Structure 1
Amino acid sequence: MASSDTDKPSGGVQSLERAFDLLEHMADAGREVPLSELAKLSGLPMPTIYRLVRTMVNRGYVRQEQSRQYALGPRLIRLGETAGKLVGVWARPHLSRLVDEIGETANMAMLDGDEIVYVAQIPSKHSMRMFTEVGRRVLPHSTAVGKVLLAQLPERQVTDLLRRTGMPAHTEHTITTPAAFIEQLAAVREQGYAVDDGEQELGVRCIAVAVPNAPTMTAISISGPAARVSEARYGEVVPALQGIAAELSAALG
């Protein structure tokens, strides 16, 4: 008779799949969760959940709080940081094709907590230095990638984030009120892309789209001088971005 750990039709190890499912439930919750909630979410019996969670606690991947509830553990941080760097490496060939097609700098960024972090970049051949660089962290309200990612979140979650971070003005064009920002996000959802028109850096225009179905909220963008990244080019740039985003979605999925 097959072992309960290896009876998955996919050939996977069932106990590992269950453990990863529990980690993802904790990540989706974004807070401490009791075992009873994990049982409800996973459909697994309590003894199985307890055994899996205790193993992950012993390894540092899950942390037990004083409340006797559980949360993601600190050992996952190193794995996440390394995975994020590798995602940037995997994305580079795709971004390079985007640069070849559009002729402007291509970027990839993720939402990390309340901030946007740039994980990959291929510069254009034009000699113009911009604020974006790999590892740079910025607040999302003044960037195209930030807008297109926040547009995927419920309005209440966006307003809570803006309350925590504030909306400092980087230029005279930066949106600095939640109401105006929420209104722009509605337009982003409708059109499927976002624009930063000199809101982070004067004279620079960025256009971004989300990478659909990415494991973590991810976007790609092109950026360059507003004179070159003109509104007349949106019909060329947006489909190119969407095509590369679809490729990245398949690669990351």
Structure 2
Amino acid sequence: MIGSVQRALRLLEAVGSHAAGAPAKQLAREAGLPLPTAYHLLRTLTHEGYLRREKGVFVFGEAAVKLAVGGALQNRRSRIEDALVHWRDAIGVPVYFAVYREGEIELVAVADTPYAPAVDEWADFRETGHAHAIGQCLLSQLDERARQDHLDRHPVQAITPYTVRDRRALLERLGSTGRMQPVVERQEYALGTVCAAIPITAGSTAAAIAISLPLHQQERLLPAVDQLRSGIGSLLSSFAFSISI
């Protein structure tokens, strides 16, 4: 054990118990530290950005806030992964979660097994959004300007014989897709694979949950989508998402 680290952590805990901050003497008392030791550690924590002194009291600084945000994001991701594992096991298919963030498709998490493996990302997922169900699902949720901007940066191109043939055809397909309807694609991204994606409204962020199956099991695809849609709302509500399926 490193005593100075333990003492610094006790001071941070003391600061965290006061929403409006607290003076050094009070923090030293609550942390059970001699005042000179507390002063030394408070100066160090302030210098490193973990604390900030305002009007004689110490409050959390930017570095501490980043730690808290990072922890919250990590916890949220863990909950998403747990949800995907639940549906993977319940339906027996690989399950994917993706969002559209800062102009790009981001595959956040995947749950699969050796017996039901995820689709191999043989072509960059971000650049081939026109070809896979996740990308088409996310693009269908964007406004026209954002959609056109994405396709300017990532042009439509055939990557299998079944890929949508051109930009016009893709836009027609996206335009005819109901805003919150599942998107299905067959062998457009990977030969021998069929996929479906369900749109999710996550605040102002476009998001999607998707599944995939081998082509010879395609008769399972739509029943699996129905099963996912029927129960996923209650599960994902724990993510503090606004969901519309």
TM-score by length of 2: 0.60
Amino acid at match of 2:240: L
Counterpart-to-counterpart distance in 1, 2:115 and 2:132: 21
Aligned counterpart for 1:143 among listed residues 123, 127, 132: 132
Alpha carbons of structure 1 residues 148 and 79: separation in structure 2 relative to 1, 3 Å:
farther
Alpha carbons of structure 1 residues 197 and 251: separation in structure 2 relative to 1, 3 Å:
same
Q: Is the 8 A contact 2:96 2:111 kept in 1?
A: yes
Which residue is 1:177 aligned to? 166
Q: Is the 8 A contact 2:118 2:212 kept in 1?
A: no
Aligned counterpart for 2:232 among listed residues 198, 220, 244: 244
Does the alignment pair 1:218 with 2:193?
no
Which residue is 2:14 aligned to? none
* Pairwise CA distance, 1:95: 1.2
* Pairwise CA distance, 1:151: 1.1
Which residue is 1:28 aligned to? none
Q: Is the 8 A contact 2:97 2:208 kept in 1?
A: yes
Q: Is the 8 A contact 2:180 2:199 kept in 1?
A: no
Identity across matched positions, percent: 26
Counterpart-to-counterpart distance in 2, 1:101 and 1:144: 21
Does the alignment pair 1:202 with 2:191?
yes
Counterpart-to-counterpart distance in 1, 2:121 and 2:76: 17
* Pairwise CA distance, 1:221: 0.6
Q: Is the 8 A contact 2:88 2:95 kept in 1?
A: yes
* Pairwise CA distance, 1:88: 3.0
* Pairwise CA distance, 1:108: 0.7
* Pairwise CA distance, 1:125: 4.8
* Pairwise CA distance, 1:234: 0.7
Aligned residues: 180
Q: Secondary structure at the match of 2:177?
A: helix
Does the alignment pair 1:153 with 2:125?
no
Alpha carbons of structure 1 residues 95 and 233: separation in structure 2 relative to 1, 3 Å:
same
Deviation digits for residues 147-184 of structure 1 (CA, Å, limit 9, x no counterpart):
11211122232122101211232211112422211121
Q: Is the 8 A contact 1:208 1:222 kept in 2?
A: yes
Q: Secondary structure at the match of 1:150?
A: helix
Alpha carbons of structure 1 residues 101 and 239: separation in structure 2 relative to 1, 3 Å:
same
Which residue is 1:121 aligned to? 110
Gaps of 5+ in 2: 1-18, 20-60
